[in-house]
Amino acid sequence: MAAETAVGIAAPRARLALLLLLAPALVWLVGLIVLPHLELAVLSLRARVAPRVYELSLGQYRTFIDEPLYWHTFVRTAGISILATVCTLLIAFPAAWYIAKLARGRARSVLFVLCLIPFWVSETVRTLGWMILLRESGVLPRVLVDLGITPAPIEMLYHDATILAGLVYTSLLFMVVPLVSALESLDDSLIEAAYDLGGTGWSILRQIVVPHAAPGIAAGSIVVFMLTLGNYLTPTLLGGKNSLWFTEQIYTQFITRFNWEQGAAFGFLLLVLSTAIVWLGLKLTGQHFGDVMRRS
């Protein structure tokens, strides 16, 4: 009897405690993500017909389709982001393999820290560092001249390749971490068994390692792709005025043009684009979102 009463009192209390613990996360989700997006949705769907008079309109979305610059930028941003994700994966995979399977003890933590070190510096400073290295009067063009490879210093900034390099550099850690945890869980004896049964390095990679690491690969790719697609600083600084990055268009609409309705529509299009590409990627590789998120 006494015990029942105790439970009866404890249950609402426990519920209250749970609610309090969840409160920060709920405030964050509802207040900073859901509400602004609802507001943006409303903004993107209205047109100003007179001062302080608005009506429902798809005009903003029509502008996006009618103006080739906008959707060119849109496609270009998606294309470079996918390319950057693929490059990051190709560079991160051997590194993750080495950390997960070959490095032991101290070497392993040192390597992890090496991956982390770039993140101790703010992204702005890091990107400015790239600019110091790559601009026409910078370190790398001068070294190329000194070595006699180029007759005069060349401008290495403001190329698509530069943007790509900057994006890959920024994203590497977010690919390495899920890959390391995915590869760590791969039993070495599976690789030995495959080798014992006649497998070769390439076939084992394709048939044993990659299928095992697939959720980790997908998790890393999603994170990197999202970060790249939504990146503003790196493409703007390394690509200059011609970088034509979609986040830049959004910034311009909101800040320079003060056209919040158009900016909101672009923001929504970016959200739809990233969701669609991630969904397509998961479908094409036969992965499930739940599995992937558990790995990341």
The Cα 268–Cα 276 span in angstroms is: 12
The site string for other proteins over 8-37 (x = CB under 8 A, - otherwise) reads ------------------------------
The site string for other proteins over 89-128 (x = CB under 8 A, - otherwise) reads ----------------------------------------
Provide the 10 A C-beta neighbour count for residue 149: 10
Tokens of 22: 């969840």
Determine if 291 is a binding residue for other proteins (CB under 8 A). no
The Cα 206–Cα 87 span in angstroms is: 18
The site string for other proteins over 153-192 (x = CB under 8 A, - otherwise) reads ----------------------------------x-xx-x
Provide the 10 A C-beta neighbour count for residue 214: 17
Q: How far is the CB of 245 from other proteins (least distance, A)?
A: 38
* Distant-in-sequence, close-in-space partners of 22: CB < 8 Å, separation ≥ 6: none
Nearer to other proteins, 150 or 185 (CB): 185
Determine if 203 is a binding residue for other proteins (CB under 8 A). yes
The Cα 254–Cα 250 span in angstroms is: 6
Determine if 194 is a binding residue for other proteins (CB under 8 A). yes
Q: How far is the CB of 215 from other proteins (least distance, A)?
A: 11
288 — phi, psi (to 5°)?
-110, 135
Q: Can you name the residues that pair with 48 across neighbouring β-strands? A: 54
Quick one: which segment of 106-114, 136-144, 200-208, 258-266 binds other proteins (CB under 8 A)?
Answer: 200-208
Interacting residue with other proteins among 90, 211, 289, 291 (CB under 8 A): 211
Determine if 208 is a binding residue for other proteins (CB under 8 A). yes
Cβ atoms 225, 277 nearer than 8 A: yes
213 — phi, psi (to 5°)?
-85, 0
Coil, helix or strand for 53? Answer: strand
Nearer to other proteins, 122 or 207 (CB): 207
Would the CA dihedral through 113, 225, 289, 287 be positive or negative?
negative
Q: How far is CA 109 from CA 83, 112, 171, 188, 261, in A?
A: 30, 5, 20, 20, 49
Nearer to other proteins, 182 or 229 (CB): 182
Determine if 212 is a binding residue for other proteins (CB under 8 A). yes
Interacting residue with other proteins among 196, 258, 283, 286 (CB under 8 A): 196
Nearer to other proteins, 148 or 198 (CB): 198
The Cα 43–Cα 60 span in angstroms is: 10
Coil, helix or strand for 52? Answer: coil
| Number of chain residues interacting with other proteins (CB under 8 A) | 17
Nearer to other proteins, 51 or 286 (CB): 286
Q: How far is the CB of 214 from other proteins (least distance, A)?
A: 9
Q: How far is the CB of 224 from other proteins (least distance, A)?
A: 24
Q: Which residues bind other proteins (CB under 8 A)?
A: 187, 189-190, 192-200, 203, 207-208, 211-212
